[in-house]
Structure 1
């Protein structure tokens, strides 16, 4: 059995290693990034939830994990076939693997310390995961913690970076012909008429969301037992 076939993980948090992982939103300029402390045994389905919360996504689109950049062209301009993990119910192709059955540590090992996470196959927000360090877990280790980062994530359905940048340019210029239209759209998406600041990142708020996510997960596991 090869490494790609033995990627198995539980759904709970194990007392193994705490991984420091940096996640960059590929092609963002200025850079949009996050740095986490995460249990190595965290199932990819849970890593997905962590990334959704940390980048402000709304889990409204498809996603996948991969061991290498799925958009790095080969010599002849074709895209490579990469190992990928999806929610179990979405695995349709022979090479698809359930994300519930693979841990973060195993994914990073298969990718030699790095991996990728794509969210929204239309806008194609590609995140690069890189293992920075590891340490032994202890009883006080949180199930997931954001320790650093820069800038908020782009808005849902903004059209990838070209569309998002166009919207930000219009918001920043009251004389822009699309200023009013884009301002109304952003207010509708965010649920707030407050000025939108793409540089703002509220790390304590993200960690409160993560703590609540894992509290609900652990409560659900106890009820099932």
Structure 2
């Protein structure tokens, strides 16, 4: 019996084949007609975007998307494999599972989409292209866009089932890690630093949540509106790494976070009880939240829950914790540099129902259930 060589079919649209300026290779004798790796065949197209032209490739089995620079087109097969590696690393898939998948991918064969193309995958590509157009307007980095596409709900033609490509890829390639993360829930205490009295929330969240998902949980728990940039920091001093949304314009200026906050799960970000990280919302007002892991419990929690808390979250755009503390002092009739006129204008803006001591656990959990 002949051993078949590992191969990956990269099925390219006519637009991409025309750019490659070479006829699509036919399958070689002795190679399988289908890809040998777990993610199956890949479908690719050419995107003439600015500032860089890109290639979008989507795996047939998981609908996982990778985005990488089109040039130089002569080295596209090798760079495609490297883009897949980076994409799987961003999903926190174990290095062993990544190496196994890349070995199973073997040689990349350039093929046309053909009459036997997977129409469902091509339909997903059309959906993704619309999302990419919108993300380009926001100047998001290609890596950030690909990670977002992985969280996009994808449907199966003729069925009511929907799935997220990131989840399917992790289940296909690294089921042991997925199972381990799904067994645990993390109890976190989140406190706005320098708030006096403390403004805090105790949260119970699935360990599998990414930092990006935790961002949305904190936003809801403190009634923030998500109007500004945010950033997570793990580690101290020279060893510190920042995570957030990566925008192309910021990276071009050597700014922005080190990594996307979609690439790290809480299970890895907070490895033991007592571990902590810093979450900053609004890089101007600089609302700094301390996030501490209080307990790791075996529990199949599906949705975040707030267990306790005190005081309402500060209003948006009130100048940061220092200005907010001065406003609270003025409201209490104490010494404060805030004038009566400024206080009146602030109360008019914050609303007559503003109460800095208010906290409603039921309302907070209703908000979390919708996120």
TM-score, structure 2 normalization = 0.47
Among candidates 243, 260, 269, match of residue 98 of structure 1: 260
The answer for unaligned runs of 5 or more in structure 1 is 70-78, 214-225
Matched, 1:116 2:278: yes
The residue number in structure 2 matching 1:184 is: 345
User: Larger C-alpha radius of gyration, 1 or 2?
Assistant: 2
Equivalent residues in 2 for 1:27-176, closer than 5 Å: 27-68=194-235, 80=238, 82-89=240-247, 92=251, 93=254, 96-109=258-271, 113-138=275-300, 141-173=301-333
Distance 2:361 2:295 in 1: 21
User: 1:21 Cα shift?
Assistant: 0.7
Could you say which structure has the greater relative contact order, defined with CA pairs below 8 angstroms and 6 or more residues apart? 1
Could you tell me whether the CA contact under 8 Å between 2:272 and 2:293 is conserved in 1?
A: no
Distance 2:264 2:321 in 1: 30
Q: 1:109 aligns to what SS in structure 2?
A: coil
The residue number in structure 1 matching 2:361 is: 203
Q: 1:34 aligns to what SS in structure 2?
A: strand
Distance 2:191 2:344 in 1: 27
Distance 1:84 1:107 in 2: 12
RMSD (Å), alpha carbons: 3.1
Could you tell me whether the CA contact under 8 Å between 1:38 and 1:145 is conserved in 2?
A: yes
Deviates more, 1:178-187 or 1:41-50: 178-187
Q: Can you list the C-alpha shifts for 1:136-156, whole angstroms capped at 9, x where unaligned?
A: 223xx2410010111112222
Q: How many residues align?
A: 195
The answer for unaligned runs of 5 or more in structure 2 is 1-87, 93-149, 152-163, 168-180
Deviates more, 1:180-189 or 1:20-29: 180-189
User: 1:68 Cα shift?
Assistant: 3.2
Could you tell me whether the CA contact under 8 Å between 1:171 and 1:183 is conserved in 2?
A: no
Distance 1:127 1:32 in 2: 10
Q: Can you list the C-alpha shifts for 1:154-174, whole angstroms capped at 9, x where unaligned?
A: 222222222112222233339
TM-score, structure 1 normalization = 0.74
Distance 2:238 2:262 in 1: 24
Matched, 1:193 2:276: no
Superposition misfits of 4+ residues, deviation over 6 angstroms: none
Distance 1:98 1:110 in 2: 22
Q: 1:188 aligns to what SS in structure 2?
A: helix
